[in-house]
A = this chain, B = another copy of it.
Amino acid sequence: MEPVLSVEELQQITVDAFPDWNVPIVESLSDDTLVLAQPLSERNGRPGGTVSGPTMMAIADSAAWLVILAHIGPVLLAVTTSLHIDFLRKPDIADLVARARLIKLGRRLAVVDVELTSRGSSDLVAKAQVTYSIPPRPSR
A103 at the interface (CB under 8 A from B): yes
A131 at the interface (CB under 8 A from B): yes
Q: How far is the CA of A53 from the CA of B57 in the complex (A)?
A: 9
The SS class assigned to the A binding surface is: strand
6 more A-B contacts (CB under 8 A) besides A88-B103, A104-B124? Answer: A47-B76, A54-B58, A81-B87, A82-B84, A86-B103, A108-B108
- Identify A86's interface contact among B57, B79, B124, B129, CB under 8 A: B129
User: Residues of B contacting A47 with CB < 8 Å?
Assistant: 17, 76
- Identify A111's interface contact among B61, B83, B86, B90, CB under 8 A: B86
Q: Mark A97-113, 1 if CB is under 8 A from B, else 0.
A: 00000011000110101
A interface residues (Cβ-Cβ under 8 A, vs B): 17, 20, 43, 47, 53-54, 57-58, 61, 76, 79-90, 103-104, 108-109, 111, 113, 124, 127, 129, 131, 133
4 nearest interchain CB pairs? A54-B58, A88-B104, A84-B84, A57-B57
User: Residues of B contacting A20 with CB < 8 Å?
Assistant: 43
